[in-house]
Amino acid sequence: MHVPTLTLWCFCMLVALASGSPGGRWPIGLGMSKYVSSFLGGAVININQTETTGKEEELPAIRTVSAEWNIPWSKAPDNADLSNPNNRHSLAQWVGILGNGCANKNWYPFLQAGTNIEMDEHGAIVAGAWVEWFPAGAHPIPKENFAVSPGDQIMVVVNVYTRILGHVYMKNLRTGQEYTAEVEADSPKDPKFQICLGSGVAQFFQEWDIAKDRENLPIFSNVTFSSMTTIDRRGEFYDLTSGTEDYWTMIDAGRQVAIPEGIDSKSFVVYSPQGKTWTPRGSH
Ligand SMILES: *[C@@H]1O[C@H](CO)[C@@H](O)[C@H](O)[C@H]1NC(C)=O
Ligand SMILES: *[C@@H]1O[C@H](CO)[C@@H](O)[C@H](O)[C@H]1NC(C)=O
């Protein structure tokens, strides 16, 4: 079985953060319009830092982000040579919490958790789940603790309690299996791991693990994020109609890879141009 190279996502994220976003800065401020990324497709909800006094000022703006989604299937084009790892795509689906006001503009610590799908040399797809406190690498969750398969509907809840402590809850809605974990930043004393104050960003993404432009794009079945929840430090709820949401389209070398499309206030779909009419065999 192919072992996911999860840490690569961080590397890619870092590269794009340093060079990709407008003004050289992620994530960009409140209420901005659409964004384009070569490896991220999805939606964000931006939240102002809440006005508080005393101790609470030291806490990131967003406390809770959650969503349900279906783990997608992916397939290779008929002519793809799958003995070449560059033709075997890896995709991740995740939610995360980030704060904007870092003292150093090159820091983007955030807590994220979600799923990933990997393709082997025969085109078979396997799925996994993971938790990551960026800029550390992803921690895969052992299958015996939380097992997921393509086609499963899962729920993931990410909480940030303090700048270095959080909590992750996952449930596989097909099997009923649950996973919970207290999470601490991998290097809690290092300021570049401490989630920043200032405005916060709730993240709902499909990510493409890509090290360089590939000949073939990933083809995946629709991923629908639903029951999306974003809660700020005071307990206020936000959704895709709050007026501070942004959609991110994934475009690589001029080619559309993943396109988000709003459904209602708490859901949107991410689709690939070649996969959007595909109903995978074996899907539930
Ligand atoms: C967020 O803060 C900015 C700047 O302080 C302000 O202009 C904007 O109205 C605020 N947005 C919301 C949704 O409160
Ligand atoms: C995938 O989503 C797109 C965009 O909403 C839609 O046009 C398409 O019918 C969906 N595909 C399936 C198989 O549901």
Within-domain flag for 278: no
Within-domain flag for 256: yes
C-alpha 222 – ligand 2 centre gap (Å): 6
Within-domain flag for 225: yes
C-alpha 273 – ligand 2 centre gap (Å): 10
* Number of domains the chain is built from: 1
Q: What pTM, to 2 d.p., does this model score?
A: 0.88
Output the residue whose Cα is nearest ligand 2's atom 10. 276
Output the residue whose Cα is nearest ligand 1's atom 10. 48
Within-domain flag for 89: yes
C-alpha 199 – ligand 1 centre gap (Å): 9
C-alpha 146 – ligand 1 centre gap (Å): 40
Question: Within its chain, how far is the Cα of 257 from the centroid?
Answer: 16
- 279 conformational bin, left if phi > 0, alpha if psi -120 to 50, beta if neither: beta
How confident is the model at residue 4, as a pLDDT? 36
Q: Fill in the DSSP letter of residue 194.
A: S
Within-domain flag for 69: yes
Ligand 1 close to Cβ of residue 30 (< 6 A) = yes
What is the span of the domain harbouring residue 168?
Answer: 6-271
Q: For the residues 201-218, what does the mean pLDDT come to? A: 87
Q: Using one digit for the tens of pLDDT, what is the confidence trace for 111-142?
A: 999 999 999 999 999 999 999 999 999 999 99
Within-domain flag for 93: yes
Strands (E) in 161-283, as ranges, are 165-172, 178-184, 200-208, 219-220, 223-232, 237-238, 245-252, 255-264, 267-271
- Cα separation, 215 vs 84, in Å, equals 11
Whether 227 shows a pLDDT value over 90: the answer reads: yes
* Ligand 1 atom closest to Cα of residue 47: 13
Whether 16 shows a pLDDT value over 50: the answer reads: no
Within-domain flag for 277: no
Within-domain flag for 1: no
Q: Using one digit for the tens of pLDDT, what is the confidence trace for 33-74?
A: 468 888 999 999 999 887 666 655 589 999 999 999 999 999
Ligand 1 close to Cβ of residue 49 (< 6 A) = no
Output the residue whose Cα is nearest ligand 2's atom 3. 276
User: Domain of 244: which CATH number?
Assistant: 2.60.120.700
